[in-house]
Amino acid sequence: MNQPARPPFVASLAEAPLPASGIAWLDQARRENLEAFVAAGLPDTRVEAWKYTALRALAQRSFAVGDAQAAGRAVDPAMLVLAGVDGPTLVFVNGIFRADLSMLDALPAGVSLQPLSHALASEAEPLRFALSRHYREPGDAFARLNGAFARDGAVLRVAAGARVATPLRLLFVGAPAGHDLAWHVRNVVDLGEGAELTLVEQHLGAGGQAHLGTQLGDFTLHADAILHHVVLQEADAGSSLVRRSHYRLDARAQAHLHALELGGVLARHDLRAELVGDAAGFHSHGAFLPDGRQHIDTQLAIHHQARNTVSASTWRGVAGGRGRGVFRGAIVVNAGADGADASLANKNLLLSPQAEIDTKPELEIYADEVKAAHGATVGQLDERALFYLRSRGIPGAQARTLLTTAFARAPFESLPHEALRRHIDQLLLSRLPA
C-alpha cells in the first residue's frame, strides 16, 4: 500500500541534515526528535491544544533549515537599542549568535551568559538533562523540531545569592535571506538559591521575510530565587514564531512574567509553570494585539504541586481588522497542594466586526483548602465610558484610543522597571488605532 504523501512542510524538514555536534547523547536526541516529528507531523484542530489554531497553510510551505549566511546579514544598529536597558546583551540573527552585535564585556558578578554553541563546545554535560528531552504530547511538533535542529541559543546561570540590578537582554532578530528559513533556538536559564534577575527577551524583524522560528526556554528557579521576565514580541509581519517557555519553581521562588505579543502572521507562545516547592509563586501579565490577518495564540498552563503556592494571571486581548486571538488559561491544583491560591482573568476587546478572540479558562482542583478564581470576557468598548469622555469635549476617535490604550496597558502596571513600562506604552500607542 502506498504511503500518503507528506505535506511540503514535513517533507522539507524530514530530509534536512541534522546538526552534528560530536556529542553522542545530543546527536541521538536530535535524531529521535526528528523521527518523532516526521512520524506525527503537524497537529490539526482535533488536538485540543491546537483547537483554535489551524496549521493548514503552514503545512503547504517548505523551509530551508538554518542560515549559512547569518553572520553577514545586515542589521540596523538602531534596532538594537532599547532605551533604559543597556546591560549585557546576547544577539541572534536567524537563530545564529552574532558576537559582533552582542555586548558581553560587563557581566555582573555571579552571572554566566554565553551562547549555547559555545557552552556545548566547552562543557556540554550540564546541559544534558535539558537538551536530551523527548516530547510526547500530541501537539509537540514544534518542540520536536526544536529538539532536532536547535544549534544555538542562550545559556544563563546566576549564582546563589547574586542580586543582579542591571537587566540582561536576549535579542532574536529575523532577517531577510532570499528564501524562507526555519531557524531554531534553545535557551536554558538557571537561578541559584536566593538569586534575583531581570531578563528582557525581544523578538524583532530586520526586514520583510516569511521565516519560521521556534524557541524552547527552560527556566529553573531554585529556593528563594526571583525572576522578572519581560517578553517583547515584535516579529516581522510575514513571519511565523512558535515558542514554549517552561518554568520550574522551588520553595518560595517567585517568577514575574510580563509579555506583549504584537508581531507575526502566526505567533504562538506556550507558557508552562510548575510550582514544585512550598510557597512558590508564578505571576503572569500580558497582552496580545492581533490585527490585519494576524493569528496570535497564547497557551498558559500552571500546575500547583506544593503547599501554599500562589499564581496570579492577568491577560488582555485587543483584536482589530480580521485578526484572531486565542487564549487558553489552565490552572491545575494537584492533590496535596493544600493552601494554594490561584487566580486568572482574561478580558478582551474586539475593534472590528471581523475580529475574533477565542478564550478558554480552565480550572481543575484536586486538593482541599484552596482559593481559586478564573474568568474571561469578550466584548466592545464601553459606550457609557465613551459618552462620558465625549461629554468632556474629547473627540470620539481620541476617546476610543484613550480607552483602548488604558485597557491594553493594565497588565503592565505591575512591571517595576520604569523604562520598560515607557517602552511598552510607546509600542501600544503606535500599534493601537489612532
The answer as to whether 44 is a domain residue is yes
The answer as to whether 1 is a domain residue is no
Nearest Cα to Cα of residue 182 among 219, 218, 156, 144: 144
Same domain, yes or no: 317 and 387: no
Give the whole-angstrom CA distance, residue 160 versus residue 93.
Answer: 31
**Cα–chain center distance at 20:** 27
Q: Which three cell numbers stand for residue 71?
A: 553572520
Q: Is the pLDDT of residue 204 over 70?
A: yes
Give the residue numbers spanning the domain of 397. 383-434
- Average pLDDT of 373-384? 75
What per-residue string of b and e applies to 131-166 under the rule 16 or more CB within 10 Å gives b? Answer: bbeebeeebbbbbbbbbbbbbbbbbbbbbeebebee
pLDDT at 434: 55
- Average pLDDT of 340-360? 94
Same domain, yes or no: 377 and 394: no
Averaged pLDDT score across all residues of the chain: 92
Say what the pTM is. 0.95
Q: Is the pLDDT of residue 311 over 80?
A: yes
CB atoms within 10 A of CB 355: 21
pLDDT at 1: 47
Give the whole-angstrom CA distance, residue 114 versus residue 97.
Answer: 10
The answer as to whether 321 is a domain residue is yes
Cβ proximity of 403 and 389 under 8 Å: yes
pLDDT at 3: 62
Same domain, yes or no: 226 and 279: yes
- Average pLDDT of 273-299? 97
Number of structural domains (the chain) is 2
Same domain, yes or no: 201 and 61: yes
Give the whole-angstrom CA distance, residue 318 versus residue 408.
Answer: 7
Give the whole-angstrom CA distance, residue 262 versus residue 303.
Answer: 27
Phi, psi of 242 (to 5 degrees): -125, 120
Reported as a pLDDT band with limits 50, 70 and 90, residue 403 is confident
Same domain, yes or no: 153 and 256: yes
The answer as to whether 123 is a domain residue is yes
